[in-house]
Structure 1
Amino acid sequence: MAERHVKVGIVGAGPAGLLLSHLLHLAGISSIVIEARSRAHIEGRIRAGVLEQGTVDVLRETGVGTRMDAEGLLHHGTILKFAGEARRIDFQDLVGKSVMVYGQHEVVKDLVAARLAAGGEIVFEVADTRIEGIEGSEPKIHYTHEGRARTIACDFVAGCDGFHGISRAAIPADVLRVYERVYPFGWLGILARTPPASEELIYARHDRGFALLSMRSPEISRLYLQCPPDEDVALWPDERIWEELQVRLAGGEGWRLEEGEIVQKGVTAMRSFVAEPMRHGRLFLAGDAAHIVPPTGAKGMNLAVGDVQVLARALEIYYASGRERALEAYSDTCLRRIWAVQRFSWWMTQMLHTFDDASAFDRRRQLAELDYVTTSRAAMTTLAENYVGLPLDRGPQ
């Protein structure tokens, strides 16, 4: 069995694992990333791509933002549609910040390229991964690659392998606390070859269900419809999708979507999930391995980026000085922000979606809330400061 030693073993080559490896490299801390999927798979899977100001800043500051700045779409606000009206929230005016629309898979491509160019090691297509010894001084990650059993011995393990990964299961069940809410709807998402009908995202509340107009480029639109969480995509031929989008996104004189070829469609169920603590022994969870948010607030990848910035800084302090206070505070530091973002994502979700058991009172209250949020400067500021990203607390220094 081949065994190697690095300071940090990272399970998962999503944005969390890759950015953590990149940040550690810049701090002179060795790491290896292992990933169950192929490079083509992780670089090709389409995920949401609204980057908070803080995420944009860290990508720029660490040298992986060049393509993002060239190809990303900078948004200074967003639009809420309801009751036949469109109302804009101006982020720049309210909080002086913006967001960037740039696909998560594009971020992954940039991070993979940066790690490989710097001589970093990413081992793709591993199997039979397991973690042991996290309560000792030298945990190990065992896996097979190209038919051979291999082991990484390390000082610390970072579990960045997503909601369905193996890292969270390495924490004893009597230690882990799980908080979860499953929503009674999902999103039918499509990718279409048609220019976006708006320069900014449109969030639409309609009696027939929520809809969202997003984009991937000036030529490609990303659109979503609220639907049952277990909906059969076969029930949604292209014609029905476009008809429903036209109805739900209507608002404003003469406004209409330009329809085009739908090249991808799928249904995503929605949940809120938090696992506490995010550290046990020498294992640290980051990103979707520790938390899931409904996509309404566009926070999933941004939370992961926040986690690994906190973790990378704590590890940098540890290796520079031997102080463990920041590592010990990692879980609490991250969870404060995570729960604040969970609140915002839940709030956006309940405000914009229709619920089957909603009464006439609930529907009128929902419209009143949207009216208030889009007319009160204080309320708009609250939405804007959460949407562009709350300040990141890096914990004890």
Structure 2
Amino acid sequence: MPHFLAKSLELTDLPFNDEGYKLLYEAKGVKNPNESLICVNYEDEEFFIRKIKKPHQILLKAEKITKPSPIGILKGALRVLSKKSSLISHNLNNDTIKQTLRSKFFIKPQDILKLGFYEFCIEIGFGSGRHLLKLAQENPNKIYIGMEIHTPSIQQVLRQIDLLGLENVYIVCIDARVLLEILPSNSCEIIYVHFPVPWNKKPHRRVMSHKFLIQADRVLKKGGLIELRTDDEEYFRDTLEISLKSHNMRAEITKNLSSEVISKYEARWQRAEKNIFDLRIFCLRQSEDKKIEYDFNFSSFSLKSLEKIHQVGKIIKADFFVHVCEVFKADDKVILILSFGDFNWPVSKIVIFDKKRAYYFGGNPLSTEANIKSHLELLNLLMEK
């Protein structure tokens, strides 16, 4: 990840502009004064850089919640900041093409609803993108949505989309379990889940779960399917057991079936004569339409009272939680870093409070039931304060 170390950093002239970057303000940690957030604007995109004071040096790196894409934008901002410092070391040279490519096919989760896609296909955790890109090439009239949380994989596939001239592949950086909850009913043809991390010791972190299948059943059109392909027999058997408990799905099993698109990992397992399991789960019904909308507005608040909100820590309810992780303060702003929502797939967001308004930095959370309940709990907390 791009970063640099410096003996010192001089930021007394904020705000300032350099090379198209606007360095707006620095918010200092309330709980930990040795850390701060520096707000950066580049071509109308805003993000934060985290500054960490250590003995005899300062570290500057991305605030991962707001990390911009492509990563070259972050590197450029860090290079601008490095001019204000006494550098010790850095890794900010040699931007690659994929690190600077800005693609219209890299979209925010909310954009899927705005673009009005219908009868699309999803691949969850596409990795190198070999399977996703092959499908898109062979079916130019179908829309494909790739979901991934690994930034290098995203950058690699966006570069391939550009090189191949594809117009029917969209990439989203999000936990698919969260996104599935807000997608329209009966809108998806196929959900591909190929070689997911098995998480056998932490099954709550798996993509495939009872809750996931409930949402997938709603999102898939009648006759649509989930295609799980895995080399992990425990994961395969657990998913099969979950699917058989559903009255609205039919399961189809194959073993060591040859695939048209073979990833480098699958090829390695085939050479090792390792079993590969395929589970296809078919949706047998048309679901009722489901549309949840919520505005995530904030009511009245006091900037002064917010400074001690970090003392609240974590609030745990039956089916959601809210954790005030960190609080930062600038002259006219209080910034909260929050984790909230569902226990098994939490959301991390930043909320900014200034004299006139409060808002979620980078856009509102998705309108899932757990996120809405978490927001309402946050409103109650602010009223108490």
TM-score (norm 2): 0.27
Give the number of the structure with larger relative contact order, counting CA–CA contacts within 8 Å between residues 6 or more apart.
1
Larger strand share, 1 or 2: 2
Larger C-alpha radius of gyration, 1 or 2? Answer: 2
TM-score (norm 1): 0.27
